[in-house]
């Protein structure tokens, strides 16, 4: 089966669009990290208070969250420890 010129153009346009999106996210990665870091630093007390209220109103949610986090850690322990080690090495450089 041979592709028509129109199909070829569509494939190239799609490929270019996908690459542009990837490049956009890669280019703005550091800016997103800085924004997130600043946002969570500014919202720290609000987020803490929200967690406290949730814990008071629905104690089960705290237990569910802890169970989820524990299961996630146990399931992904090797990956998480490798990631942590990589960060520590990068920090020392």
Closest Cα to residue 51, out of 61, 41, 38, 42? 61
| 46 pLDDT higher than 90 | yes
pLDDT per position as a tens digit, 73-91: 999 999 999 999 998 988 8
**Nearest-CA neighbor of 66 among 57, 77, 78, 74?**
74
On whether the CB atoms of residues 63 and 54 are closer than 8 A, the answer is: no
Nearest to 89 by CA among 29, 81, 70: 81
Please list, in sequence order, all residues whose beta carbon lies within 8 angstroms of the beta carbon of residue 55, skipping any fewer than 6 positions away.
61, 62
Distance CA 4, CA 48 (A): 59
- pLDDT tens column, 15-41: 776 666 667 788 888 999 999 999 999
The full set of domain ranges for the chain reads 1-42
Query: Is the predicted pLDDT of residue 58 greater than 80, yes or no?
Result: yes
Percent of the chain with pLDDT over 70: 91
pLDDT at 12: 74
């Amino acid at each position: 089966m041979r592709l028509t010129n129109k199909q070829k153009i569509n494939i190239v346009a799609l490929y270019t669009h996908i690459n542009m999106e990837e490049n956009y996210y890669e280019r703005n990665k550091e800016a997103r990290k800085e924004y997130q870091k600043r946002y969570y630093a500014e919202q720290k007390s609000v987020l803490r208070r929200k967690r406290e209220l949730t814990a008071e109103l629905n104690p089960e949610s705290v237990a569910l969250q802890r169970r989820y986090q524990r299961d996630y850690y146990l399931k992904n322990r090797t990956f998480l420890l490798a990631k942590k080690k990589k960060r520590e090495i990068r920090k020392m450089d």
